């Protein structure tokens, strides 16, 4: 693994006003949900995050409902005594996208983190039942009153990002999206827009939430490059992502060794030819697949559907998913689908299905609600992937 000293310089992003942000961020979840997290797990999480900060990873990513608010509490304790050295990015639950909802969520986050400001405050998801203008106006109030330093959005389509920028007078500074070798769809429009406008792109799930698997050719390339750069494959993946200008990547590690490895990616300078080789090989074509040929399967066990089993279940949304399938269906009709669902060749032997769904069940049901079962759904076929033993 690439060695790391305590003073290895991390890549920095510089905002329009000159603020420097570490390009390798730390996700703060990992201790467990509030009702199940042990004192030992919480203490370990805090120690690992402090270690990452000592290595230069001073951009911390959290959210008001991450682990029932425990993530923000941990963040607050970790930054105690050096708050001015840390860049905190938090976000609010889409249930709170109304103007009063944003204000209430913001005050709750301040209290949990024991701080009087948030560096970057973000809309986590658009909520089709609440006008975007209302949500953005709430963010602008916090920005103008200097209670936040920057305003951002997450999981927005290109149309929604442009609309938010117009409403805000171009004061939306960041967009956070899933980005990894299996999901490069942001490269089509979002990332070029960011380069043209100065918006910082923040990528999450660099390892596809544990779902990443590679074809033999892909694995061969990564293995060869791993040897060439004396780095792990995961380090190579982060280093490749950071070759994009004005980009930050959110990593998450619950151990010291992997935290050091994440920080060490700053020292990996991939050659142009190697970057181009990765770009050429890791192409994910979007297919359109009849919804009836896709089996909904739990990612951890061979049991049918892990959220909603039927269209009626999805419409009722008894688990109160936000945005729910019905709301998301309206958004898909108006702004398009944020990203394709992810499927793999089915293990079913009945002949009824061609693929198994492994990611994007709410989007699947929203598509069916919007267009019925007749219109094929955009899907990313993950080649060579098996259902993972666990998803992080």
The candidate with the shortest Cα–Cα distance to 62, out of 154, 165, 192, is 154
Give the up-direction half-sphere exposure of residue 144: CA atoms within 13 A in the CB hemisphere: 8
Q: Tell me what pLDDT residue 275 has.
A: 97
User: Where is pLDDT greater, at 212 or 242?
Assistant: 242
Q: What percent of the chain has pLDDT over 90?
A: 73
pLDDT per residue as tens digits for the range 39-56: 999 999 999 999 999 999
Query: What SS3 state is found at 341?
Result: strand
User: Where is pLDDT greater, at 386 or 107?
Assistant: 107
Q: Tell me what pLDDT residue 92 has.
A: 97
Whether pLDDT at 220 is above 80:
yes
pLDDT per residue as tens digits for the range 363-374: 999 999 999 998
Give the up-direction half-sphere exposure of residue 238: CA atoms within 13 A in the CB hemisphere: 28
The C-alpha atoms of residue 376 and residue 392 are separated, in whole angstroms, by 29
User: Where is pLDDT greater, at 5 or 339?
Assistant: 339
pLDDT per residue as tens digits for the range 328-348: 999 899 888 989 999 989 988
Domains and CATH numbers, the chain: 12-281 (3.20.20.100), 286-381 (3.90.1530.30)
Q: What percent of the chain has pLDDT over 70?
A: 90
| β 24-27/247-251 pair status | parallel
Per-residue pLDDT band for 16 (boundaries 50, 70, 90) equals low
Q: Tell me what pLDDT residue 18 has.
A: 61
Per-residue tokens: 87: 């860049």
pLDDT per residue as tens digits for the range 122-180: 999 999 889 999 999 999 999 999 999 999 999 999 999 999 999 999 999 999 999 99
The candidate with the shortest Cα–Cα distance to 113, out of 40, 46, 64, 53, is 64
Query: What is the arithmetic mean of pLDDT over 76-96?
Result: 95
Q: Tell me what pLDDT residue 321 has.
A: 84
Q: Tell me what pLDDT residue 306 has.
A: 61
Q: Range with the lowest mean pLDDT among 115-124, 216-225, 289-298?
A: 289-298
* Locus of tokens 């109160």: 320
Q: Tell me what pLDDT residue 105 has.
A: 98
| β 59-61/294-296 pair status | unpaired
SS3 sequence, 299-317? Answer: CCCCCECCCCCCHHHHHHC
Q: Tell me what pLDDT residue 295 has.
A: 93
Q: What is the mean pLDDT of the chain?
A: 89
Q: Tell me what pLDDT residue 341 has.
A: 93
Phi and psi torsions of 200, nearest 5°: -85, 130
Q: Tell me what pLDDT residue 74 has.
A: 96
Query: What is the arithmetic mean of pLDDT over 213-225?
Result: 90
Phi and psi torsions of 260, nearest 5°: -65, -40
Q: For residue 303, is the peptide bond before it cis, meaning its omega torsion is within 30 degrees of 0?
A: no
Query: What is the arithmetic mean of pLDDT over 240-254?
Result: 92
Q: Tell me what pLDDT residue 15 has.
A: 55
The C-alpha atoms of residue 373 and residue 314 are separated, in whole angstroms, by 14
Contact 291, 367 (CB under 8 A): yes
pLDDT per residue as tens digits for the range 262-315: 999 988 999 999 999 999 999 888 999 999 999 986 544 444 446 788 899 999
């Amino acid at each position: 693994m690439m060695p790391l000293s305590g003073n290895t310089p991390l890549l920095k992003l510089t905002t329009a006003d000159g603020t420097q942000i570490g390009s390798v961020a730390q996700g703060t979840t990992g201790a467990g949900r509030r009702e199940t997290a042990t004192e030992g797990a919480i203490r370990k999480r805090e120690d690992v995050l402090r270690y990452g900060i000592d290595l230069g990873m001073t951009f911390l990513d959290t959210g008001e409902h991450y682990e029932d608010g425990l993530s923000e509490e941990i963040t607050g304790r970790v930054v105690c005594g050096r708050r001015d050295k840390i860049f905190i990015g938090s976000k609010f639950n889409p249930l709170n996208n109304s103007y009063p909802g944003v204000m209430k969520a913001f005050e709750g986050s301040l209290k949990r983190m024991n701080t009087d400001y948030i560096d970057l405050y973000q809309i986590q998801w658009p909520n089709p039942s609440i006008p975007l203008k209302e949500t953005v106006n709430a963010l602008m109030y916090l920005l103008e009153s200097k209670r936040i330093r920057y305003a951002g959005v997450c999981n927005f389509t290109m149309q929604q990002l442009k609309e938010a920028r117009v409403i805000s007078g171009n004061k939306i500074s960041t967009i956070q999206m899933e980005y990894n070798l299996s999901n490069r769809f942001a490269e089509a429009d979002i990332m070029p827009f960011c380069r043209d406008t100065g918006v910082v792109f923040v990528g999450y799930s660099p390892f596809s939430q544990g779902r990443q698997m590679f074809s033999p050719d892909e694995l061969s390339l990564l293995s060869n490059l791993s040897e060439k750069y004396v780095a792990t494959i995961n380090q190579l993946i982060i280093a490749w992502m950071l070759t994009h200008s004005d980009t930050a990547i959110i990593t998450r590690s619950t151990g010291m060794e992997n935290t050091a490895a994440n920080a060490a990616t700053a020292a990996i300078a991939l050659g142009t030819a190697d970057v181009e080789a990765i770009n050429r090989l890791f192409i994910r074509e979007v297919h359109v697949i009849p919804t009836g040929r896709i089996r909904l399967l739990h990612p951890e066990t061979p049991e049918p559907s892990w959220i909603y089993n039927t269209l009626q279940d999805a419409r009722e949304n008894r688990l109160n998913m936000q945005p729910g399938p019905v709301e998301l269906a309206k958004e898909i009709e108006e702004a398009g689908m944020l990203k394709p669902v992810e499927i793999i060749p089915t293990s079913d032997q009945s002949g009824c299905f061609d693929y198994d769904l492994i990611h994007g069940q709410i989007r699947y049901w929203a598509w069916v609600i919007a267009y019925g079962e007749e219109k094929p759904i955009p899907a990313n076929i993950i080649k060579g992937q098996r259902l993972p033993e666990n998803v992080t």
